[in-house]
Amino acid sequence: MVGRFYEEFPINLKTGEANLTQIYLQEALDFIKRQQAAHRPFFLHWAIDATHAPVYASRPFLGTSQRGRYGDAVREIDDSVGKILHLLRDLSIAENTFVFFTSDNGAALISAPRQGGSNGPFLCGKQTTFEGGMREPAIAWWPGHIPAGQVSHQLGSIMDLFTTSLSLAGLEPPRDRAIDGLDLLPTMLQGRLTDRPVFYYRGNALMAVTRGQYKAHFWTWTNSWEEFRQGVDFCPGQNVSGVTTHSQEEHTKLPLVFHLGRDPGERFPLSIASTEYLDALRQITPVVRQHQEALVPGQPQLNVCNRAVMNWAPPGCEKLGKCLMPPESVPEKCSWPH
């Protein structure tokens, strides 16, 4: 991120050329070699960002894909991951190294197709709590431990990597706080599936929750009419009446419920008069209640008004909602859904 903010590693916005991925790659390779030479275990968080607008690639990869500059960036990342895995094999530590590849959010459709990816059948993109904004691919690699070519339908979260890493190191999670992450090792090593809810937040607001195949939306919102009229569209080409709204729509009394197995694109909410809808709410309601009763608000770690972090508020409290404020400083009249 230093390169993006301070231009120490320039990105040529006209040609898309930048050498930053190669710099990241060399840092990673050198770090692994140093740790191995010193016989030290290591943790490497390799967070490349070439596919984040403005996308970029180094000269050998520019113009090499059929997907434009975005495809060039993906090819360079793919090549770089390959070089890291190849080094692990060369150093004979592949069978003692766990690798997990994923993303922090769905594709940013506001910059697609030239500067962004695709979310396939899923609704909307980054910055929303629809599936297109929240679902990411994930690949786990651990030769000799994780069988190659298997697919798991376990619902996971990046929060799970904390708990899973502790398990890999033979450590117990801290017991002085609630840990939301799930240990994914039983899933990856033994194919075990764990039914667990996942809560979708946008700022301080609990927007939705999934339980099993069902997802209930308590609030729906893409982005404001003001932004939309200026050409900022989080859901280009996707318009689901009453779902992809540009005003903050509340559904806390009668949540919008989708069956993600039959309708992964969240286009056809269940009829509130159906038995299936009532059965889904019976599964979801107690889970949400337990979550809200046990939730302890954390202290904000950013003391600034940051639209990228907090861009949601109940109607009438929009200005407060764009600031990260300690809970005790928020007026009672501006109570969030949770």
pLDDT, position 317:
47
Structural domain contains residue 318:
no
Higher pLDDT, 55 or 296: 55
Structural domain contains residue 295:
no
Q: The pTM is what?
A: 0.84
Structural domain contains residue 176:
no
Q: Enumerate residues 6+ apart whose C-beta is below 8 A from 27.
A: none
Q: CA 30 to CA 25: how far, in whole Å?
A: 9
Structural domain contains residue 105:
no
Give 172-208 pLDDT, tens digit per residue: 999 998 888 999 999 999 999 999 999 999 888 899 9
Identify the H or E element spanning 84.
Answer: helix 68-90
Give 128-164 pLDDT, tens digit per residue: 999 999 999 899 999 999 999 999 999 999 999 999 9
Tally the domains of the chain: 1
Q: Enumerate residues 6+ apart whose C-beta is below 8 A from 1.
A: 49
pLDDT, position 305:
52
Among 206, 211, 201, CA closest to 260: 211
Structural domain contains residue 67:
yes
Contact indicator for 153, 118 with CB cutoff of 8 Å: no
Structural domain contains residue 188:
no
Contact indicator for 173, 183 with CB cutoff of 8 Å: no
Higher pLDDT, 224 or 330: 224
Structural domain contains residue 48:
yes
Looking at the chain, the whole-number percentage of residues with pLDDT higher than 90 is: 78
Residue 242 gets which letter from DSSP?
Answer: T
Q: Could you list the residue range(s) of the whole structural domain that residue 12 is in?
A: 8-97
pLDDT, position 198:
95
Structural domain contains residue 14:
yes
Give 214-254 pLDDT, tens digit per residue: 999 999 999 999 999 999 999 999 999 999 999 999 999 99
